[in-house]
């Protein structure tokens, strides 16, 4: 039986060679939002992995939208030049499609890097600033509350998402993921834990979905037809009376009506009170129900580490693609090893063709080699 993991996946007019997607993974290594040589090395090795899609880390729409002062951004010409330099190098040697995750951290902005503790940095600190969110409700106790976005702010933030999307299109990026998960701004609008508004953007499910859907529509309008645009969502807050799976299904149906070809399904992140039940593939049931009830192409993530585990999820119809983050950092050749294990084939750069193991004579696609 052909490995489902290595079958092509079609998202609008974009065809991926296989169903292994590299998830966005923040590196906290940019300077003033600009990509650095670290991104050249990091993205370069992942681009050679043989995966079907490489998603750039959460990329901020403004300086205030960054999680940390060292986050990647795409909000001015300097950011665009720096990222363009990295992508030009990647594309010269690795023909992998690139997706960008466009993001605003909301009240979880102005943080320290994880290896420095990850806590909120006060606004008066050189690496801190006043955050902004749906409501003036802090993420954690003893944190500085965010500025509550007013009508003019909402227009500004929408416009910032659009401007970043336009820059991504200029850079030739083939797909766009909007970050609506992990407690960041769009998720904050969705979750009643973070959204205490009494206007048209708060209260009912329809109102809480309004701003994320407006941002989706605005970005979809400026991304060329055929280039897919979708959301990453947290399907549950893991907190009582928080955002839940029923609401996520409703959001998925609304996004499908808006033209989204897919949904990237994660969980959690909006509250320190979350009680996550960890285990292998622990988020897959959420993707499974969304796929079953909406018919959207569904991307599963969360402690998926083994090739046969990923293959089983797809063979059982629980999701349509597998997104890998930590597993890919640990093993940047994960798709090669998965293809070998599952009897499939994968693309590798010609400079590495000689590494094909003797027992897998047909592992790499389109190889040719000779030597005097």
Q: Beta 53-60 vs 14-16: how paired, if at all? A: unpaired
pLDDT of residue 208: 98
Cβ pair 57, 101 in contact under 8 A: yes
- Taking the CB of residue 111, how many other CB atoms lie within 10 A of it? 24
What single-letter DSSP state applies at residue 258?
A: T
Does the predicted TM-score (pTM) go above 0.85?
A: yes
Candidate from 26-40, 197-211, 220-234, 271-285 with smallest mean pLDDT:
271-285
What is the rounded (10 degree) CA torsion for 202, 177, 87, 329?
A: 100
Strand-pairing partners, residue 37, are: none
Q: Share the mean pLDDT of the chain.
A: 96
**Position 159 confidence tier, pLDDT thresholds 50, 70, 90:** very high
Polymer length of the chain:
372
* Cα–Cα distance for residue pair 346/361, rounded to 1 Å: 12
How far apart are the two ends of the chain, measured CA to CA in Å? 39
pLDDT of residue 369: 77
Query: What is the DSSP annotation of 173-228?
Result: --EEEEEE-TTSHHHHHH-TTT----STTSSSHHHHHHHHHHHHHHHHHHSPTTS-
The CA-CA-CA angle for residues 114, 134, 145, to 5°, reads: 55
Q: What is the CA radius of gyration of the chain?
A: 20
- Residue listed under structure tokens 């080699």: 369
Contact (CB, 8 A) for 108 and 71: no
The catalytic residue among 184, 201, 216, 286 is 184
pLDDT at position 278 is 84
What is the pLDDT at residue 368? 86
Q: Decide if pLDDT at 372 tops 90.
A: no
Q: Nearest 5°: phi and psi at 358?
A: -60, -35
Q: Given this model, what pLDDT does residue 2 score?
A: 82
> 168: number of CA atoms within 13 Å, CB side?
36
337-347 residue pLDDT tens: 999 999 999 99
Residue 231 and residue 258 in contact, taking contact as beta carbons nearer than 8 Å: no
118-142 per-position pLDDT tens digit: 999 999 999 999 999 999 999 999 9
Count helices and strands in the chain by DSSP H and E runs: 10, 12
**Three-class DSSP category at 161:** helix
Contact 204, 192 (CB under 8 A): no
Q: What percent of the chain stands above pLDDT 70? A: 100
DSSP state of 73: B
* Residue range 49-103, pLDDT digits in tens: 999 999 999 999 999 999 999 999 999 999 999 999 999 999 999 989 999 999 9
Question: Helices 77-93 and 37-47 meet at what angle, rounded to 10?
Answer: 30
Model confidence band, residue 238 (pLDDT cutoffs 50, 70, 90): very high
SS3 229: strand
201 carries an active-site annotation: no
The pairing of strands 14-16 and 9-11 is antiparallel
């Amino acid at each position: 039986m052909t490995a489902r993991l290595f079958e092509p996946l079609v998202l609008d007019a974009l065809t991926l060679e296989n169903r292994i997607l590299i998830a966005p993974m923040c590196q906290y290594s940019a300077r003033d939002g600009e990509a650095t040589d670290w991104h050249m090395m990091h993205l370069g090795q992942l681009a050679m992995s043989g995966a079907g899609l490489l998603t750039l880390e959460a990329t901020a729409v403004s300086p205030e939208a960054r999680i940390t002062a060292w986050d990647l951004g795409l909000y001015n010409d300097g950011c665009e030049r720096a990222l363009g330099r990295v992508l030009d190098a990647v594309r010269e040697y690795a023909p992998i499609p690139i997706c960008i995750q466009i993001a605003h951290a909301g009240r979880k902005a102005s943080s320290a890097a994880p290896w420095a503790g990850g806590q909120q940095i006060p606004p008066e600190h050189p690496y801190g600033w006043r955050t902004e969110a749906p409501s003036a409700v802090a993420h954690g106790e003893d944190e500085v509350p965010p500025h509550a976005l007013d009508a003019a702010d909402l227009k500004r933030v929408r416009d910032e998402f659009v401007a970043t999307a336009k820059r991504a299109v200029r850079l030739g990026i083939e797909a766009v993921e909007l970050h609506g998960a992990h407690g960041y701004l769009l998720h904050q609008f969705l979750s009643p834990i973070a959204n205490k508004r009494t206007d048209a953007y708060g209260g009912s499910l329809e109102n809480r979905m309004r701003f994320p859907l407006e941002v989706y529509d605005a970005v979809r309008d400026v991304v060329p037809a055929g280039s897919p645009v979708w959301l990453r969502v947290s399907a549950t807050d893991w907190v009582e009376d928080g955002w839940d799976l029923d609401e996520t299904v409703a959001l998925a149906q609304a996004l499908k009506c808006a033209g989204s070809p897919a949904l990237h399904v994660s969980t959690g992140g909006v509250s320190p009170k979350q009680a996550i039940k960890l285990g292998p593939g622990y988020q897959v049931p959420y993707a499974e129900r969304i796929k079953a009830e909406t018919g959207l192409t569904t991307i599963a993530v969360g402690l998926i580490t083994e090739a046969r585990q990923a293959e089983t999820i797809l063979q059982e119809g629980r999701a349509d693609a597998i997104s890998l983050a930590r597993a890919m950092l640990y093993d940047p050749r994960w798709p090669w090893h998965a293809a070998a294990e599952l009897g499939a084939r994968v693309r590798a750069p010609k400079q590495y063709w000689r590494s094909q193991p003797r027992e897998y004579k047909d592992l790499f696609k389109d190889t040719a080699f000779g030597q005097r």
